[in-house]
Chains A and B, each alone.
Chain A
Amino acid sequence: MLELQHISFSVPAEAGAKTEILDDINLKISERFVAITGPNGSGKSTLAKIIAGIIKPTAGRIIFDGEDITDLSITERARRGISFAFQQPVRFKGLTVKDLISLAAGEKISVATACSYLSEVGLCAKEYVNREINASLSGGELKRIEIAEILARGTKLSVFDEPEAGIDLWSFNNLIKVFEKMHEKTQGSILIISHQERILNIADKVIMVADGKIAAEGSKQEVLPMLFGTISGGCRVTEVNG
């Protein structure tokens, strides 16, 4: 469904040198749940933004459903079926939760429909549907509203940039249920950038990014031992019987 071919992204550094954020990334994503993980600053969020069209790669092509979308705008990619949930949701003065869910759904929706999406992310819908997306909402509330918008979009590919941040009051189990339900409905792929072991555990494929390169790719059984080895500084985590 989604293929990244030789994707690189660099920014100019001092004295004419370049800093490589991403270096020749090649990926195919067609599984149900795909998780991208890796240390902070490894380039994960940049990769997600390149898929959504927010950042243009300095080299490489992006193929979505057989079409080269490298030169398409954010809007055109969204309309072709790519959704993106921000790591830090954006606030708006005046726009309400219902306004944003309606825009996400692409049509005027009833209060009841908006409420059903909010209930799925564990928000008491009546209290939220007419709230403004402004500073009165907490980071965790905004994250869940962001997920409700992606549910309302129901696209073939949904990209979540660290969805677990700030949702500790809710639970990971619920978040995972939302992802499962989303897949049931869209039959598409869900790409999740995450550090959370419990989220990585549900992934059909785990991709580890380090220093702008793919350090490992495979099933969670293959990648997770390496991953936790890397993060804990070379100390491999092994399961001990008994």
Chain B
Amino acid sequence: MTLRAEDVIYPTEAGLYCAPGDFYVDPLRPVSRALITHGHSDHARPGHAAVMATRETLDIMAIRYGEEFASSRQIAEGPVRIGGVTVSFHPAGHVLGSSQILIAPDRGPRILISGDYCRTPNPVCQPWEPVACDIFITEATFGLPIFRHPNPMTEAGRVIASMEEFPGRPHLIGAYALGKAQRVIALARAAGHHGPIAIHGALKRLCDYHVERGIDLGSLVSASDPGEAQLMLAPPSAFASPWVQRFRDPVLAYASGWMTVRAQARRRGIELPLVISDHVDWPQLTATIRELAPQEVWITHGAEEGLMRWCELEGIPSRPLRLIGYEDEAE
């Protein structure tokens, strides 16, 4: 018997559930078996019995939640049979270890879950890989045509220019601990900033892990003792805390796709908005759908109305899954 896509995978309160495999993808609540696309805390939550993910994602979960975060762990390597389906993990280009997950029933549509993904080259993770599929389940964080992320090197150049223009002012960049922080550091290095970069304590373990995995971040020092470092990175939440008071007249920057929109930067009191995103922008999102040419597009979260309208204009059937609980940690 051929399965219909909606019998293979559907949204439940605990998250996306694959019935023939009896597992969840990026579940929002503790479940018995979870497949995790990447290590951001809204996708990789603690408390599942069995977890399958890439080696990096499992390592990151162990760093965040302790070695005992799940009773059984399995590294995703090559296609694996789970119940009545075959699953395989493919690089998503979002953060270190991030994957798309392909679910292929013996008879029925091949379903690709994008997770969060990005197609701009990123020195801190493997590039996104196209995977043929019938049903494409995609995120739509930046699913509006206003989002066209500039070349990230241009944005890194703006940081360097601002540091030259204001040599006496520390530059604080708000960046999430997993992925964004390391990418910003790598971009600053590529733009020619070779001096020490100071990092907030909350970024340390994940930066160390990237270095362990062979990603060169250059000289990093602690932001509590920055010495001569003019460039600092901190999680964005630190900007609203007394932590920031130790810096005299800082230039506050924020690396995020949301910085495209001025009101978003103004709301956070940002002086130097940097449009650096680990998600696909509108041109990449729509180009990906054209390239994969799926029979249907399902949308997990984000600006689904915009993407659905585009699918309608393109004549591609689409539907929203309205999964609640995926915030934009990476942004």
Pairing of A with B = no
Which residues of B pack against A, CB within 8 Å? Answer: none
Which residues of A pack against B, CB within 8 Å? Answer: none
